[in-house]
Structure 1
Amino acid sequence: MIGAGAAGITIARKLLDSGIEVVLLESGGIDYDADIAALNEGENVGLDYYRLQDSRLRFFGGTTAIWGGRCAELDAIDFEKRPWVEHSGWPISKAQMRPYYREAREILGLRQTQPSAADLIEAGVVMPDFKPDRIRSLLWTFDEKHGRFSFDNCRDLRDHPRCRIITHATVREIVAAANARSIDHLDVRNLAGHRITVKARHYVLATGGIENARLRLASRSVMPTGIGNGQDWVGRCFMEHPHARGGRVVSGRSWMLLNAFAKRHEVDGQSVAALLAPGIELQKEQGLLNTSLTIVGRRPPHRRESYAMRSYARLKHVIAPDRRGRELWMAVKKTGHRVLRYSEPARPWALNKAGLLDIALLVRAEQAPNRESRVMLSHLRDPMGVPISRLDWRTSAIDTRSVSGLVHALDTELQRLNLGAAEAASWLEGGDWQFDPLVSAHPIGGYHHMGTTRMSDTPRDGVADSHGRVHGIANLFIAGSSLFPTSGWANPTLTIVALACRTAEEIASDLRHRPMARSREIPRYDANSYAVAESGRGESESG
């Protein structure tokens, strides 16, 4: 198992439950280390994006250490082939995903059923009566357990007799067998220059949407174009959920709209938040993506950020994301949520009446798959000697057009219900995607790296099958949102965990049909002693 984030840890647990021995390799330690974080360094050559060094955390638990907990299932249409969306269509349907979504919900401490807008109304929240074929009101739920996948919260893995955890273990290359039909071993290094070789019957790559592609492209000693990249799909179709200001609501019932969409609510003991997406019929009629937006109070464009937002941004960028920094960040975030719980919608409503805030449309868009939006390799190398990532992120005309279609549909519905009007942002009239630093604490996107090792029915259209197995390579699996053929509106973590459950089931089924070595207690390594550094050059085997 390469990578101890939500996907890797989920698969490890499922395999252990099936009686399989697991080696879990983590490039970082149990907390943030600046030298290890620098291995994420890369080049941005397309749209403006966050520094790649900062866009993922490289230690046990991964970026879930600062995850906001937003959970939602993809819609059925997200899995379907949409004629108006090039390269759309998953090799698995929503119906096939349902049992795995149930597992994922349990893993993340969520109730088995996704709450709906009807549940929110029943809880006493007044919601606009939009026509559902035009505008849908959807809900996020939240995993409330901070650090669910942290080292502290993985005592079960640390104590398991069949699980070996090796920290500071960076895979330098996935080495294919001579016939290029399977993986022979992993070349694993640390920053001190020590090396081990790891051999297993099955390998799972779960290092994130950029690193999954980078490591496969860089593994070229047997396959010159990279592992499983015969059809030139590895690294392509990089997707985010790009953020933007879609416009504003004017002359409307701002109190009701802010109360419904600009704050969290409680439904049957669950924390939820509402958002808006185009109706399925509207998507089909106008050829729109399944994009989304929320209605929030924000400063008008080109104004200065508020003191609170400037302070939050300073805190986020100045303080290292180590344990102490994360605890401080989480304390500030929880305090902010408590303040908003009691101040909303009164605060933004009053400031809007005073002309200091807009009732803004905060876009969290679906991005269409685009082969030219991609992760490549730079000529520069990291301290391990691996080429660093070169990200060329590009949006498409359909991305902008879909936001425009949603905003105009919202305008029609607001006016029909006498709730005001939605005034579209000028950039939606055929312009390039426009980011707005005032609209979100994460103004560019959700840090959601998707699509670079996409699933498909055949190698012609992607790099892995519906279980995450790389086409043509019997014992290599991919896990994480890099598998997503399309991105949908939903935050990816719930789907990542659900797919991990499905992949683990497939690996366990494979191994049940092969003779298993006699189970033995696998020695574990204290993360603070950094097994790779102590091992020097050695070899490790597992299932």
Structure 2
Amino acid sequence: MTGPRTPSDRVDVCIVGSGPAGAVTAAALAERGHEVIVLEAGPRFDFADRQHRMERHLRPAHGWTDVWDMGGPRDAYTSSGPVDYPLNTTRVKGVGGTTLHWLGLTPRFHEKDFEMESRYGLATDWPIAYDDLRPYYAEAETQMGVAGAEDNPFAPPREESFPMERFPPSYSDSLFAEACEELDIAVHSVPQARNSEPYDGRSACQGWGTCAPVCPSGAKYDATVHVRKAEQAGTRVIDRAPVQRLEHDSEGERVEAAVYATPDGTEHRQEARQFVVACGGIETPRLLLLSQSETYPDGLANSSGAVGRYLMEHAFAGTNGLLLERTEQHETGFITSESHQFYDHEDSTPGSVKLEFFNYAGPSPLDIALGDGRWGTDLLEAVDFEFGNRLQIGALVEQLPDPTNRVTLDTDETDDHGNPVPDVSWGVGNHAIAAMEHAQEIQRRILTTMGARVTGQTDVHDPGPARHPMGTTRMGTDPAESVVDTRLRTHDLENLSIASSSVFPTGGAMNPTLTIVTLALKAVEHIDADL
């Protein structure tokens, strides 16, 4: 329930953003006895409305961004790069953040993802190794509730079993697996933050099939789980309180306050001993750039010039096929089988590929009717031919950090508070293109072996992003080349930490949310020690 939006007296920790990083950080620090306040730009959504939001998603009159009320002056942005970046499909502004619409896959990064320069002479190494994060990965899986199995021969080492049993493979998975066995391609289960059994007070998956963009049952983890835990431990969460800027002391060594606006247009200053920015890969650098001052004319914590630079994404490579027999596959809503066989590569190129076998049945009858204008008998014949025998294989691929891929401020367009909007400039790069071509060659071989006809492939020069922005406030040991250190604390300000995919020096080809939460749990220990 929303309370007053006036600031608290000086608190221990002020967190900007209530997505997975912000919510987990808030809960962990509050449970350690610290006074915490969270400032969230978007509203608090009523859980009871989720079924209505699911229905909105299913109806043709509404688009993806309508489900969680994205768009308009509040969410204005520009995209000036060589590939259009659909920012408002990557994020949700509201309590719970982008986990409200995420798919829920939670693989760990592989060891090679932390060692790109030392292994391949590419990009840069992380200043921490996989082994440094192993205990935090295990804790993140427990905190979120991850269902999985130790059947992936390519997964990085682990000591603990998954908190829940895996989801079983679908029927179409068995068809893919048969062809992959013939091609000596290993297929295995997918770890995901989705309850395969009742867990942490939430039900098992109910099978609605609309996981992205909305889970009506709450069986899929989202950050409101930790928002509730944070509030139970005494955290105060203020929604519809977008932070306009961070203000620092006269020496430029500490942040003193987060200035936020309320729906009536009033600005307030929230003071704290420690600050954590957890706004995701785009809004985090934007807030730092908006917080420029005489001491930091290029943006707060930006003495390196790296704030906003090195934007990475996971370009999606897909291949569709038509099988001349019924798969009888239903829209499960999530992926139950993958292959990481092409992830840990020996040569520098092509880069990592994570194959994903989609539980895809084909276009819905409504999509067929709206697309072709067919009704009655014609529609029934079309549905009989086009639904239930479609196949889709996808892949996430590795993109290298490039300083020209970046987030800047577009001073020609402003949001509802008069601030310059973020401009996203994103291109794919030859390394990712080579990985996508490699992925599609594998996908084509699998479908051909199944006896399917390939009906289409992603344009590797103009792919869609997987909605995983990373790298824009990168971690490193050299303050001249990075924004935060191994503690996730900014080099420039001693009480400002960043918990976000924006700190990733490289992005691999694994879904990032588990690693985001893992790093947040690591940062909590350092912030707690400082307090």
Taking structure 2 as the reference length, the TM-score comes to 0.72
Match of 1:73 in 2: 108
Alignment root-mean-square deviation, CA: 4.1
Match of 1:539 in 2: none
Q: 1:312 to 1:174 in 2, by over 3 A?
A: farther
Q: 2:369 and 2:474 mapped to 1: Cα distance? A: 38
Match of 1:375 in 2: 407
Q: Residue 192 of structure 2 aligns to which amino acid in structure 1?
A: F
Residues 77 and 422 of structure 2 are in contact (CA less than 8 Å); yes or no, is this contact kept in structure 1?
yes
Alpha-carbon shift at residue 150 of structure 1 (Å): 5.9
Matches within 5 A, 1:235-384: 235-246=308-319, 273-279=336-342, 283-285=345-347, 287-296=349-358, 307-309=365-367, 359-379=391-411, 380-384=413-417
Q: 1:365 to 1:42 in 2, by over 3 A?
A: same
Q: 1:34 to 1:276 in 2, by over 3 A?
A: closer
Residues 25 and 524 of structure 2 are in contact (CA less than 8 Å); yes or no, is this contact kept in structure 1?
yes
Q: 1:309 and 1:140 mapped to 2: Cα distance? A: 29
Sequence identity percentage: 26
Q: 1:97 to 1:173 in 2, by over 3 A?
A: same
- Look up the SS of the partner of 2:16 in the other structure: coil
Among residues 253, 263, 277, which one is paired with 1:205 in the alignment? Answer: 277
Matches within 5 A, 1:44-123: 44-49=79-84, 51-82=86-117, 84=120, 86-111=122-147, 115-116=151-152
Question: Structure 1, residues 212-245: CA drift from partner, whole Å, max 9, x if none?
Answer: 0101111112310011112211111212222233
1:9 and 2:23 equivalent? Answer: yes
Among residues 169, 176, 192, which one is paired with 1:142 in the alignment? Answer: 192
- Look up the SS of the partner of 1:140 in the other structure: coil
1:396 and 2:429 equivalent? Answer: yes
Q: 1:297 and 1:100 mapped to 2: Cα distance? A: 31
Residues 295 and 362 of structure 1 are in contact (CA less than 8 Å); yes or no, is this contact kept in structure 2?
yes
Aligned length: 446
Alpha-carbon shift at residue 488 of structure 1 (Å): 1.9
Residues 378 and 387 of structure 1 are in contact (CA less than 8 Å); yes or no, is this contact kept in structure 2?
yes
Q: Residue 15 of structure 1 aligns to which amino acid in structure 2?
A: L
Q: 1:311 and 1:114 mapped to 2: Cα distance? A: 43
Q: 1:73 to 1:134 in 2, by over 3 A?
A: farther
Q: 2:497 and 2:226 mapped to 1: Cα distance? A: 25
Q: Residue 160 of structure 1 aligns to which amino acid in structure 2?
A: A
Residues 135 and 277 of structure 1 are in contact (CA less than 8 Å); yes or no, is this contact kept in structure 2?
no
Question: Structure 1, residues 130-176: CA drift from partner, whole Å, max 9, x if none?
Answer: 69x99554542232344744658744333434x22222222111112
Alpha-carbon shift at residue 399 of structure 1 (Å): 0.5
Alpha-carbon shift at residue 390 of structure 1 (Å): 0.5
Residues 249 and 361 of structure 1 are in contact (CA less than 8 Å); yes or no, is this contact kept in structure 2?
no
Matches within 5 A, 1:168-187: 168-187=240-259
- Look up the SS of the partner of 1:284 in the other structure: coil
Alpha-carbon shift at residue 462 of structure 1 (Å): 2.0
Alpha-carbon shift at residue 12 of structure 1 (Å): 0.7
Match of 2:495 in 1: 475
Question: Structure 1, residues 330-351: CA drift from partner, whole Å, max 9, x if none?
Answer: xxxxxxxxxxxxxxxxx99x95
Alpha-carbon shift at residue 287 of structure 1 (Å): 1.9
Alpha-carbon shift at residue 376 of structure 1 (Å): 0.6
Question: Structure 1, residues 495-541: CA drift from partner, whole Å, max 9, x if none?
Answer: 11111111111111222xxxxxxxxxxxxxxxxxxxxxxxxxxxxxx
Uncovered stretches (5+) of structure 1, i.e. residues with no partner: 266-270, 314-346, 436-443, 512-543
Q: 1:36 and 1:425 mapped to 2: Cα distance? A: 31
Q: 1:123 to 1:174 in 2, by over 3 A?
A: closer
1:504 and 2:518 equivalent? Answer: no
1:42 and 2:80 equivalent? Answer: no
Q: 1:34 and 1:423 mapped to 2: Cα distance? A: 36
Uncovered stretches (5+) of structure 2, i.e. residues with no partner: 1-14, 47-67, 155-164, 195-217, 372-381
Question: Structure 1, residues 309-347: CA drift from partner, whole Å, max 9, x if none?
Answer: 57999xxxxxxxxxxxxxxxxxxxxxxxxxxxxxxxxx9
Q: 1:481 and 1:405 mapped to 2: Cα distance? A: 26
Q: 1:298 to 1:23 in 2, by over 3 A?
A: closer
Question: Structure 1, residues 90-109: CA drift from partner, whole Å, max 9, x if none?
Answer: 12211111111111111111
1:463 and 2:483 equivalent? Answer: yes
Q: 1:296 and 1:22 mapped to 2: Cα distance? A: 41
Q: 1:153 to 1:184 in 2, by over 3 A?
A: closer
- Look up the SS of the partner of 2:346 in the other structure: helix
Residues 278 and 290 of structure 1 are in contact (CA less than 8 Å); yes or no, is this contact kept in structure 2?
no
Q: 1:433 and 1:383 mapped to 2: Cα distance? A: 34
- Look up the SS of the partner of 1:187 in the other structure: strand
Alpha-carbon shift at residue 474 of structure 1 (Å): 0.9
Alpha-carbon shift at residue 34 of structure 1 (Å): 5.4
